[in-house]
Amino acid sequence: MTENTALDTIEVHPITFPPDVLARISPELSLQRHLSLGIRPCLRKYEEFREVTIENNTLSRYVDTENVDAKNNILGSNVLKSGKTIVITSITGGIIEENSASIKDLDDFGEDELYEITKEENVVANYASIYPVVEVERGRVGACTDEEMTISQKLYDSVLHSRILPKQALKVKAGVRSVNEDGTLSVLYPDELENDPSNETNLKMKRKWSYVLYAKIMVLSRTGPVFDLCWNSLMYALQDVKLPRAFIDERASDLRMTIRTRGRSATIRETYEILCDQTKSLPLMINSQNIAFASNYGVIDLDPESQLQDPDNAEEEVDIDMDEARPVLIADLDTEAEETSIHSTISVIANAKGNYTQLTLVGAGAKITPEMIKRSLLLSKVRANDLSTRLNE
Amino acid sequence: MNVQDRRRLLGPAAAKPMAFSYTTVDAVEKTVTNTPPKDGEGEEVLSLHTGFIENCNGSALVEARNSRHQTSLITAVYGPRSIRGSFTSQGTISIQLKNGLLEKYNTNELKEVGSFLMGIFNSVVNLGRYPKSGIDIFVYLTYDKELQNETLDEELQSKKLFSQISSLIPHCITSITLALADAGIEIVDMAAAGEANGTVVSFIKNGEEIVGLWKDEGDHEDILECISACKEHYKRYRDLMISCLLEQNNLDAKSA
Amino acid sequence: MQFQAEVGVLDHVDGSSQFVSQDTKVVCSVTGPIEPKARQELPTQLALEIIIRPAKGVATTREKLLEDKLRAVLTPIINRYCYPRQLCQITCQILESGEDESEFSQRELSCCINAAFLALVDAGIAMNSMCASIPIAIMKDSNEIIDNPSAEQLKTSLSVHTLALEFIDGGKVVKNVLLLDSNGDFNEDQLFNILELGEQKCQGLVKNLRKIIQDEISPRLAA
């Protein structure tokens, strides 16, 4: 033993792991090995998207137009499945009394003129957003995660800046409920009585209300980044939202009463609730040309050292330049491996015409070249085109 | 403003939720004309699926529909996974019920049902096999809709709503049992339950053993009668679960 | 981009800076490398704790999203593998937002990025590269691209953008786009025009940032 220590060779035994074990212990290497074969761990090609299936409005109170579901307060809904992930969006509403000081008095204009005005003043201040609460289920209880918070906020910002929801569309055209001579109740809506001008002036109210829209987005079976899935689901749901008509009691429409407290008298307005009509509803008038769909991409350098060598062409391997890293574009990121090893990402919201409303480029990994950006914008456009046709199927 | 509020985008504080008027007359009229034909109350259609959620150990979807209502709930089982803290000789189960889209039940109600279910599954799961681990079960009541086929006056309807959570419990038990099986967690037997008149009885071992009893408001003149009615449901649900699992097994075997 | 910046404005932290551009004013402090809490610790690299505090009120989801974007920019430029199992706290206090906070956050984000970069250098944290960030707006009607738009200009814009670029070689070479966050209505051509104009402006900005650091450091070296 002692005489040949210098010559003693160390034998290195390669360790082999089954693919799923390798993916757990070294997601980066597993991803590179897959990419070198031209496919991804999810067995998709580089630029292949997951199939998306949707079910729209199946959970809403207006699902059956003949028979409104009275106990349901969902105004629009969508269930979106993409790969293994399921996103369930439900839109509900509230009503807020507007502060009369803050609203511009646009009452004297007709509907069409109003539309013209909002179109002209194409500034963000004329648009509203929806309040989303995203819940990504991952088997934990407690406070919401950073991911849930950032996705909610990003959805809010993007809806606002996409100029999809004009504030005008959320105004309540309140009706008045009155008791008829025979004791029955009936509701009159000002815009339903256009041929009767005397009535219309009677129904003018001093107070104004607006609808507020909320979205609850539940993500089940999260396997990768989910912002674009949430956005797309929200877009589908928004397109079918119906707003219930609202009315107030005639007696309360402008009622004041004097009260006395501790010797001082004060006039207060009677507090009453604005009620929603059980059956009557109006579709939400969104800016449908601004409806756009989201997709996401990653950029990663192919690592030449991780390339699987084909044993049959062993001689050719000299040609591979070990220093040159080739960047590739990966569409629709999914799986843990892609999420943890791809640091350069592009997230795009595009409409079918090739206009973009949101873009987030993060270059924390491989260099994002102009070609990559161009390619991702093009793919987004094609994808948006495809997704926008789903609703009519 | 509390801490919870800042973490969520809840909209303006002054906004009120929509209040729908119940006095519009034509709404009631319409429901009368559109009454679906009655087809024997007990005959509900049950559809079961397992293993469709990726980021958990086992999952199940139960959709039930009869002439009275339509329910859909999703169960996800996470575990057995390690727990923090000191050594425990057997596993601990936690069951959380969550309101899905319709915020129908209040948290206290859900907690109560959750702890009732926990009692059942503490005796159904073979906890001795899972020392130092926790099994967390989440039940999402995604959808729960009353189908209007009877014109009930409002008083009666609100009463119905109140006792309704008891009719959900058997489905919760079915879906948890399925999800546990899907997760490969050892259970003593397939647990299932039936409901009769606000009373829920849960069985194992071909109805020989009762593992849980839930009593709500309602007519309980003859408890034995309730039990035998529940036992009928139990057998039906159990058979459905078994055939669902076998089917799933066959599918897996084929694709493998 | 017109701005005033100062480094070393705070005494009780490892590094600090103040960055003012138009009506937007941000103070940033950096503490690190320090011992992390057990849940923050990363076995091979420096953990970053990034906090943004708003000019008024308490932090909400809006600040969470800003923190997320700031993290995306700072993570690649810090040499994190120099400090395994350590923590660096980066806190930006917005003193004046200089824009309508309910609709925009572009100005604040850009100033936070620049302030955080200066404070990191001041704290002596090892860096891989430099960064500079500017807000950009494309105006309605004229389609004019404006760098460092004012609050009023943001309000009447068609799209708003935040650009952060990574520089190496003494600020001469652009290595990568660290962040481009665009909102509004824009097309491909506009996007590339933004990148082009942004590159020029960021290059000018990074030169000025270097100057500030140089002015701070050279007296210390001379002493």
Same domain, yes or no: A106 and A224? yes
CATH number of C4-222: 3.30.230.70
Q: Where are the domains of chain B?
A: 43-255
Q: Give A-chain residues touching B101 at CB under 8 angstroms.
A: 59, 74, 77, 88, 90, 216, 218
Question: Is residue A206 classed as helix, strand or coil in its secondary structure?
Answer: coil
Give the percent of chain A with pLDDT over 90. Answer: 47
For A318-335, what is the mean pLDDT?
78
- Checking if the pLDDT of A266 tops 70, the result is no
What is the pLDDT, as a whole number, of residue B152? 46
Number of A–B residue contacts, CB under 8 Å: 143
What is the pLDDT, as a whole number, of residue B22? 63
- CB atoms < 10 A from the CB of B40, how many? 8
What is the pLDDT, as a whole number, of residue B34? 38
Same domain, yes or no: A113 and A215? yes
What is the pLDDT, as a whole number, of residue C17? 97
Angstrom distances, CA of residue A56 to CA of A135, A152, A234, A385, C166: 20, 21, 10, 18, 43
Question: Which DSSP state fits C12?
Answer: S
**Within-domain flag for A190:** no
Res. B65 pLDDT band, cuts 50 70 90: confident
The per-residue DSSP string of C35-99 comes to: PPPTTT--SSS-EEEEEEE-SSS---HHHHHHHHHHHHHHHHHB-GGGSTT-EEEEEEEEEE--S
Report pLDDT digits (tens) over C14-64: 999 999 999 999 999 999 899 999 999 999 999 999 999 999 999 999 999
Q: Give B-chain residues touching A334 at CB under 8 angstroms.
A: none
Q: Let me know: does A82 contact A50? Beta carbons within 8 Å.
A: yes
- The parent domain of residue A155 ranges over 52-172+208-241
For the record, the structure tokens of C220 come out as: 């210390």
For B132-141, what is the mean pLDDT?
93
- CB atoms < 10 A from the CB of C150, how many? 16
The owner of tokens 């391997």 is A317
What is the pLDDT, as a whole number, of residue A125? 87
Angstrom distances, CA of residue A66 to CA of B27, B30, B34: 10, 8, 8
- With CB atoms and an 8 Å threshold, state whether C61 touches B1: no
Question: Which DSSP state fits A125?
Answer: G
Taking the C-alpha atoms of residue B34 and residue A240, their distance in angstroms, rounded to an integer, is: 24
For the record, the structure tokens of A146 come out as: 């950073």
Beta bridge partners of A185: A179
**Within-domain flag for A7:** no
Report pLDDT digits (tens) over A120-130: 567 888 899 99
Res. A143 pLDDT band, cuts 50 70 90: confident
For A46-51, what is the mean pLDDT?
94
Give the percent of chain B with pLDDT over 70. Answer: 80
Give the percent of chain C with pLDDT over 70. Answer: 100
∠ CA A277-A278-A284, rounded to 5°: 65
Same domain, yes or no: A127 and A31? no
Q: Let me know: does C99 contact C30? Beta carbons within 8 Å.
A: no
CA atoms within 13 A on the CB side of A363: 22
Same domain, yes or no: A73 and A217? yes
Q: Tell which wins on pLDDT, B179 or B2.
A: B179
Q: Is B8 on the interface with C (CB under 8 A)?
A: yes
Question: Which DSSP state fits B236?
Answer: H
Pairing of strands B133-146, B92-99: parallel
Report pLDDT digits (tens) over C73-91: 999 999 999 999 999 999 9
Taking the C-alpha atoms of residue B125 and residue B93, their distance in angstroms, rounded to an integer, is: 9
For B8-32, what is the mean pLDDT?
67
∠ CA A56-A61-A63, rounded to 5°: 45
Burial class (CB in 10 A: 0-12, 13-18, 19+), A316: exposed
Q: Let me know: does A90 contact A215? Beta carbons within 8 Å.
A: yes
Q: Is B1 on the interface with C (CB under 8 A)?
A: yes
For the record, the structure tokens of B63 come out as: 């959709």
Q: Is A93 on the interface with B (CB under 8 A)?
A: yes
Chains linked to C by 3 or more Cβ pairs within 8 Å: A, B
∠ CA A294-A325-A364, rounded to 5°: 45
Taking the C-alpha atoms of residue A92 and residue B159, their distance in angstroms, rounded to an integer, is: 25
What is the pLDDT, as a whole number, of residue B62? 93
Q: Tell which wins on pLDDT, A66 or A200.
A: A66
**A 309-328 residues with CB < 8 A to C:** none
What is the pLDDT, as a whole number, of residue A6? 60
> Mean pLDDT of all residues in chain A?
82
**C 43-72 residues with CB < 8 A to A:** 61-62, 64-65, 68, 72
Question: Is residue A271 classed as helix, strand or coil in its secondary structure?
Answer: coil
Report pLDDT digits (tens) over B171-212: 999 999 999 999 999 999 999 998 887 788 999 998 889 999
Taking the C-alpha atoms of residue B15 and residue A212, their distance in angstroms, rounded to an integer, is: 7
- Checking if the pLDDT of A108 tops 50, the result is no
Of the listed ranges A15-24, A375-384, C35-44, the least confidently predicted one is A15-24
Question: Is residue A11 classed as helix, strand or coil in its secondary structure?
Answer: coil
What is the pLDDT, as a whole number, of residue A5? 57
Same domain, yes or no: A235 and A364? no
Rounded to two decimals, what is the model's pTM? 0.89
Q: Which residue in B15, B19, B54 is closest to A273 by CB distance? A: B19
- Checking if the pLDDT of B69 tops 90, the result is no
What is the pLDDT, as a whole number, of residue A135? 93
Element (H, E) at A379: helix A370-388
**B 143-162 residues with CB < 8 A to A:** 143, 145-146, 148, 161
Taking the C-alpha atoms of residue A214 and residue A91, their distance in angstroms, rounded to an integer, is: 6
Q: Give A-chain residues touching B19 at CB under 8 angstroms.
A: 273-276
Of the listed ranges A45-59, A246-260, C39-53, the least confidently predicted one is A246-260
The owner of tokens 């873009």 is A359
Q: Let me know: does B152 contact B160? Beta carbons within 8 Å.
A: yes
What are the residues of chain C with a beta carbon less than 8 Å away from any beta carbon of chain B?
58-61
Residue ranges of alpha helices (H) inside A17-145 are 19-25, 27-36, 111-120
Q: How close does chain B come to C152, measured CA to CA in Å? A: 25
Q: Is B7 on the interface with C (CB under 8 A)?
A: yes
What is the pLDDT, as a whole number, of residue A130? 96
For the record, the structure tokens of C175 come out as: 């290595």
**Within-domain flag for A196:** no
Same domain, yes or no: A75 and A160? yes
Report pLDDT digits (tens) over A328-342: 999 999 988 999 999
What is the pLDDT, as a whole number, of residue C220? 84
The CATH number for A56's domain is 3.30.230.70
- With CB atoms and an 8 Å threshold, state whether B20 touches A141: no
ipTM over 0.90: yes
Same domain, yes or no: A213 and A353? no
For B65-84, what is the mean pLDDT?
86
Q: Which of C174, C182, C186, C202 to mutate to test the interface with A (most CBs of A within 10 A)?
A: C182
Res. A203 pLDDT band, cuts 50 70 90: low
Res. A309 pLDDT band, cuts 50 70 90: low
Report pLDDT digits (tens) over C88-133: 999 999 999 999 999 999 999 999 999 999 999 999 999 999 999 9
Looking at domain B43-255, what is its CATH homologous superfamily? GHMP Kinase, N-terminal domain (3.30.230.70)
For the record, the structure tokens of C180 come out as: 């481009």
Of the listed ranges A77-91, B20-34, B213-227, the least confidently predicted one is B20-34
Element (H, E) at A209: strand A209-220
Q: How close does chain B come to C51, measured CA to CA in Å? A: 15
Give the percent of chain B with pLDDT over 90. Answer: 41
Chains linked to A by 3 or more Cβ pairs within 8 Å: B, C
Handedness of CA A372, A375, A378, A382 (dihedral sign): negative
For A222-229, what is the mean pLDDT?
95
Looking at residue A206, its amino acid is K
Question: Is residue B154 classed as helix, strand or coil in its secondary structure?
Answer: helix
What is the pLDDT, as a whole number, of residue C22? 94
CA atoms within 13 A on the CB side of A32: 17
Q: Where are the domains of chain C?
A: 4-222
Of the listed ranges A73-82, A317-326, B1-10, C201-210, the least confidently predicted one is A317-326
Res. B29 pLDDT band, cuts 50 70 90: very low
Same domain, yes or no: A219 and A98? yes
What is the pLDDT, as a whole number, of residue A179? 75
**Within-domain flag for A38:** yes
- Checking if the pLDDT of C72 tops 50, the result is yes
Looking at residue A279, its amino acid is T
Q: Let me know: does A133 contact A216? Beta carbons within 8 Å.
A: yes
Sheet holding B192-196, edge to edge: B192-196, B199-204, B209-215
